[in-house]
Structure 1
Amino acid sequence: MNIVICEDDRVQLEKTKEIIENYAMMEDNGIKVVLATANPHDVLSFLQEDKADCYFLDIDLKDEITGITLGSKIREEDPIASLVYITTHAEMSFLTFIYKLAALDFIIKDNPDSLKEKLLSTLKEAHRRYLKLGEQDNIQKLQIKTTGRTHNIDFQNIYFFEASPDSHKIILHLENEHIEFYGRLKNYEGLHPDFYRCHKSFIVNKSKIKNIDSKERSINLDNGELCYASARLIKGLLKETTFT
């Protein structure tokens, strides 16, 4: 589970990051702080390229972009991420309802001694929800489990599936990452309309194809990788795409 923190008080920013990272290290549960910043524009830039699973935000960010505005921008990009507000402004909690942000929690910085307890309680609940996402049919994410980790991956971030040389394993190809997990390709070919079984060893995401060499039966992906199609299955792929 990837986490973003946006807090204008740098002492509080580092404290929040420390609490989360210490918990993640002790539990070895795959929780990771991918961005900790005092600048909400950094979060907006992050959203252009990526998504997190949980956001810890202050409301008053000493910027024209407030935590509420930032939460609205996050919701436009990701309706299911967990939003958590940590702030001294208890009177502003109603804004999360007015703007329909569906915040997971609203933590008040009234007592430093209890802040850690509240933060960890909310973090655990966010992680519990993250682990349950794979049980929801309407979520456009693939949930896979590796040793000690659960990954929720947007369908749109998948380039192709490849049968691993290791029996009963699959290699999932993302833009800059490969994840190997137990599974059978036949269980994934009908998972999304863009997923096409092009070979006994490959399922390709049609939306990630750059071009197809029909003579070599090779498929070039947008991230520079290659996968292959069989003589029989490439015909159907060419019919469903505009690539030649």
Structure 2
Amino acid sequence: MACYILTDNTRDRRYFKRVLVDPYFYETPSAIIHALGRLKKGQVVILDSSIRGFESAGLQTAQLIRQHDPDAQLIMISDNATMAARCFEAQIGLLDFIIKKELSPSFFDRLLRAIAKANLNLRRIFELRPIPIRLPDGATTRVFDLTRIVYFTTDSGSHHLFVHETNHLTRIRANLRDLESVHSNLYRVHASYVINIAFLHTYQPHDHALTMVTGHRIPVSRNYSVALRKALRWPSPYRGLPQPIY
């Protein structure tokens, strides 16, 4: 996963590039804040406490980031050990405060462990957070949690649908054609089925079928197979449930 790094130290950037998989560097607080403002919330951010001689620049940047993103995983690095107390007293929810120690192997070991923990925290956040969606139900609408919906199917001979949730079945008055516009994770795969692609386990194109993580096997018609294949090549940005395997 990408890491967004605030540092104006050329040497540090050179070492980070060798160790980190996907680093993005910014030399000023305004630059990194602007960049994060264009991304979805919940990013891994590494901040050098001192920027251009201002010892509290990293702390002040962390405070601004925290105001706008409660899910951001903030890691502070510093040459000054006395900054640790100031950072934790500020109650900005730092994941870790790491002394550089000339960028020793122990520093990078701790940094990589902090990044791994940050990514784990983000996965847990997204897994536990509901995603409310509003579905039509006749002349009114009803709110459901997308993270619990596996698929929809028609109620044969009626103008109703069944909403198949992980542990519940609900009947609503609606049409399948109206569902895809509700959320990008809802895909029509058959005249009688719409799936939540986040619950897709395997797709068997030769059998014209797919299997959900719940074990349900659902037919896939040729009319909708092209869109499904495209979706699997370009995964949905939605996070929080098992990703497609094919």
In the superposition, the TM-score normalised over structure 1's length comes to 0.53
Match of 1:37 in 2: 26
Offset from partner CA, 1:165-199 (integer Å, 9 cap, x none): 3877546xxxxxxxx7628xxxxxxxxxxxxxxxx
Give the 3-state SS of the residue equivalent to 1:68 in structure 2: helix
Per the TM alignment, residue 11 of structure 1 is displaced from its structure 2 partner at its CA by: 1.6
Contact in 1 for aligned 2:6/2:46 (Cα 8 Å): yes
Alignment of 1:178-193 (within 5 A): 182=200
CA distance in 2, matches of 1:143, 1:116: 36
Match of 1:153 in 2: none
94, 114, 136: which one aligns with 1:122: 114
Match of 1:54 in 2: 44
Per the TM alignment, residue 113 of structure 1 is displaced from its structure 2 partner at its CA by: 2.7
Cα pair distance change 1:8/1:142, threshold 3 Å: farther
Counterpart amino acid of residue 62 in structure 2: G
Q: Does 2:116 correspond to 1:132?
A: no
Match of 2:187 in 1: 163
Per the TM alignment, residue 18 of structure 1 is displaced from its structure 2 partner at its CA by: 2.9
Contact in 1 for aligned 2:188/2:194 (Cα 8 Å): yes
Counterpart amino acid of residue 50 in structure 2: D
Match of 2:73 in 1: 82
CA distance in 2, matches of 1:41, 1:100: 21
Match of 2:238 in 1: none
Contact in 2 for aligned 1:90/1:108 (Cα 8 Å): yes
Match of 1:102 in 2: 93
105, 110, 115: which one aligns with 1:113: 105
Gaps of 5+ in 2: 133-144, 149-181, 202-223, 225-246
Offset from partner CA, 1:69-100 (integer Å, 9 cap, x none): 10011101111211001110111111222221
Contact in 2 for aligned 1:13/1:38 (Cα 8 Å): no
CA distance in 2, matches of 1:181, 1:18: 36
CA distance in 2, matches of 1:94, 1:69: 14
CA distance in 2, matches of 1:138, 1:86: 33
Root-mean-square deviation (CA), in Å?
A: 3.5
CA distance in 2, matches of 1:163, 1:12: 45
Match of 2:10 in 1: 10
Counterpart amino acid of residue 9 in structure 1: N
CA distance in 2, matches of 1:6, 1:122: 16
Identity of aligned residues (%): 23
Match of 1:187 in 2: none
CA distance in 2, matches of 1:61, 1:71: 13
| Alignment length (residue pairs) | 153
CA distance in 1, matches of 2:15, 2:64: 25
Q: Highest Rg: 1 or 2?
A: 2
Per the TM alignment, residue 139 of structure 1 is displaced from its structure 2 partner at its CA by: 8.8
In the superposition, the TM-score normalised over structure 2's length comes to 0.52
Cα pair distance change 1:113/1:104, threshold 3 Å: same
